[in-house]
Amino acid sequence: MAHASEKKFPVSSKDYKLYEEVGEGVSATVYRALCIPLDEIVAIKVLDLEKCNNDLDGIRREVQTMALINHPNLLRAHCSFTTGQSLWVVTPYLSGGSCLHLMKSARPEGFVEPIIATVLREVLKALVYLHAHGHIHRDVKAGNILIDANGAVKLADFGVSACMFDSGDRQRSRNTFVGTPCWMAPEVMQQLHGYDFKADIWSFGITALELAHGHAPFSKYPPMKVLLMTLQNAPPGLDYERDKRFSKSFKEMVAACLVKDPKKRPSSEKLLKHHFFKHACSNEYRARTILDGLSPLGERFRTLKMKEADLFLQNKAMNGDKEHLSQQEYVRGISAWNFDIEELKSQAVFIQDKNGISNIRDPDMNCKSKNAYDDEDFSPEVVSPERFGPANSQTPQEDGVFDLRNMEGSLASFPIRPLHALEESQQRHQSVQDYSSSLLYCQKKDINSQTSATMNALEDTPEGATVQQKGRFKVTSASAGYKGAPSTNCSVNPVSGASTNRTVLAAAVLPSLQYILQQNTMQREQLIKSIKYLEQTSGHHRELADEGTTDLLQLPPASGRERELQSQVLRLQQRIGSAVEELQILKRKNAQLEQTLNAVLNREERIKDEEC
Ligand SMILES: Nc1ncnc2c1ncn2[C@@H]1O[C@H](COP(=O)(O)OP(=O)(O)OP(=O)(O)O)[C@@H](O)[C@H]1O
């Protein structure tokens, strides 16, 4: 794998002249530059070592890998050296830039199939080489596929690559979370048995979709949502209806890559034999089709950065909408994301299907793909049916809430235990819902027409005791339906504060229980009266008693005065409940005011101190 660069590139920054910025990643800025002694245009990736403090290992790995590889479809380093706090990695300059930037600048809807086939074939050749040498790239995506002026394709960015032959710590690194969520294979997210080079095949399939549509599936969602969707949904794919412009063999090739079970994905070598790649065209055609008429890379990059800045301002105006920020990250082609457990919990709880996200589990009702590989006997790959079915074959769960019970298997060893939190919150949700619905059921059975009308109102109005909205739930105390109750709305976050939930839940259902009790007392009286009447008219006292009515008959009949007192007690109890609730609200407000006051006092003190 080692190679000796024919030319000797100098290892001092003074031998290079940096020109404009042509790219930016999470860890580096890339410049077009001139290598003065050799009079050759190069690209220099400048990594700020201070910023990458905790990932020096990754950087070392990237530089080592780039120095060792020798394949026409892989970007190799001419040399690298440190200067001040930076590491400079000198590579050939590929003036077309990345496929992601090309799409963002000129092909927002994605490329045509022959171009996709050629680009992917070249990338696949690079993967065959890497895998044969024991490397997993781990970050295959359009942002890391570079095109040169002649249309040649090179896979770049070994920042997160891993070696299959590593042992010890480096072996363990294959059990960690690396890559970019949209392109990340489910087994990489799951951390169940680690993963191997088949993870690159998944990313390759996602990249195929990215080149076809101009964006990766789920790219507009925040990373945590992407993780959940990748694990829970059926694999994404090309659709019969929406993707009519693409051939069946392209659809099959993508489907073969995007199988959740890595064992069922083809190896890169096998995939290269897929007849889809027979449609590939020449470098020259690619250069003509993709690059003709485009402005220089630096200029395109500047325009994209300006767009990005606009987007950022828009996002700020929209209070930092997560989805837009995510999109923005996507525009930049950023690889690394920060995973925050709390954020995951809250995002997952409030995941909605308003955007048409489906919650189908991988149905595993796979139809066999026809042998699409030319030269080899290929074990049948599985293809998720919805990908070949009609566009709307994904059926979102009705309430839009993720059904976590079905995620158990796939997420058994998810490292940060977010799913237990999700499950707990969903169970809590379920118990509130069950409780509320049994309440409504009791209420509905009430024979009293007035009660029944009230209860129907309770159930039908949006102010019902527990309101099941799309993908979230809300307990509204006003909802409990008792007209006299104070109309305080309390949204319950099912993740945080179980005791708060119980208080709110109690406040919500107490008036209903009191109401039912009152109704029951009245009904009991009516029943006793009816029984007495029947006894007197038919002389059946004994038989009825024998049939178990004795208890009822032994209950003292409530007098008018008693009834009045009972309802007064109920009203008082209800008022106490309301007062407790109001008190809690006032307490909360008070605490907030206290906090604000303290902050103001602290600030004033600080200002005084500074003035002194
Ligand atoms: N040799 C090159 N020639 C032209 N453009 C390049 C070259 N190398 C990188 N770029 C551009 O710079 C961008 C960032 O480079 P690179 O992906 O290596 O940085 P990074 O920090 O590792 O990014 P990330 O990890 O976010 O993918 C690329 O997406 C590409 O557009």
Task: Please name the residue that has the structure tokens 């770049």.
Answer: 156
Contact 421, 497 (CB under 8 A): no
Whole-prediction pTM: 0.57
Check 15, 39, 48, 139 and give the catalytic one: 139
Tell me how far apart the 2 most distant CA atoms of the chain are, in Å: 121
Question: Which of 244-251's residues contact partners 24+ apart within 8 Å by CB, and which partners?
Answer: 245/113, 246/113, 246/212, 247/113, 247/276, 247/279, 249/274, 249/275, 249/276, 249/279, 249/372, 250/113, 250/116, 250/117, 250/208, 250/212, 250/276, 251/387, 251/388
Burial track 86-105 (b if 16+ CB lie within 10 A, e otherwise): bbbbbbbbbbbbbbbbbbbb
pLDDT of 389 strictly over 70: no
Helices (H) and strands (E) in the chain, counts: 20, 15
pLDDT digits (tens, 9 = 90+) for 237-282: 998 888 999 999 999 999 999 999 999 999 999 999 999 998 777 7
Best residue among 16, 18, 30 to mutate for probing ligand 1, ranked by most atoms within 8 Å of CB: 30
Residues counted in the chain = 612
Region 499-528: mean pLDDT is 60
Q: Per residue in 402-414, pLDDT tens?
A: 333 333 333 322 2
Range with lowest mean pLDDT among 4-13, 271-280, 495-504, 517-526: 495-504
pLDDT for residue 106: 86
User: How far apart are alpha carbons 475 and 463 in whole angstroms?
Assistant: 9
Chain-centroid distance of CA 488 in Å reads 33
Residue 424 Cα to ligand 1 midpoint, Å, equals 42
The pLDDT-based confidence of 16 (bands split at 50, 70, 90) is very high
> Ligand 1 centroid to 43 CA: how many Å?
9
Looking at this protein, which amino acid is placed at residue 233?
N
Residue nearest atom 15 of ligand 1, based on CA coordinates: 25
Binned at pLDDT 50, 70 and 90, residue 119 comes out as very high
- ipTM value, please give it: 0.96
Residue ID of nearest Cα to ligand 1 atom 5: 97
pLDDT-derived band at 204, boundaries 50, 70, 90: very high
Percent of the chain with pLDDT over 90: 23
**Ligand 1 midpoint to CA 302 (Å):** 14
Within 6 A (CB) of ligand 1 lie 22-28, 30, 43, 45, 75, 91, 93-94, 97-98, 101, 143-144, 146, 156-157, 159, 333-335
User: How many alpha carbons fall within 13 Å on the CB side of residue 483?
Assistant: 4
Pocket test for ligand 1, best of 22, 60, 207 (most atoms within 8 A of CB): 22
152-196 confidence digits (pLDDT tens): 999 997 755 554 444 444 443 444 445 578 888 888 887 666 678
Both ends of the chain: CA-CA distance in Å?
68
Which residue did the predictor score with more confidence, 28 or 26? 28
Say what the pLDDT of residue 211 is.
96
Is 139 annotated in the active site?
yes
Going by CA atoms, what residue is nearest to atom 20 of ligand 1? 25
CA distance 351 to 359: 10
- Does residue 47 carry a pLDDT above 70? yes
Please state, in angstroms and as integers, the Cα–Cα distance from residue 19 to each residue in 16, 28, 31, 33, following that order. 9, 15, 6, 5
Residue type at 35 in one-letter notation: C
Gap from CA of 157 to ligand 1 centroid (Å): 7
SS3 381: coil
Atom of ligand 1 nearest to the CA of 157: 18
User: Candidates 98, 105, 158, 329: which one to mutate for ligand 1, based on the most atoms within 8 Å of Cβ?
Assistant: 98
Backbone angles phi, psi at 163, to 5 degrees: -100, 130
CA of 279 to the centre of ligand 1 (A): 28
Rounded to the nearest angstrom, the distance between the alpha carbon of 322 and the centre of ligand 1 is: 24
DSSP 582: H
Residue 73 has pLDDT above 90, yes or no: yes
Counting atoms of ligand 1 from 1, which one is nearest the CA of 23? 12
Residue located via tokens 């000129």:
106
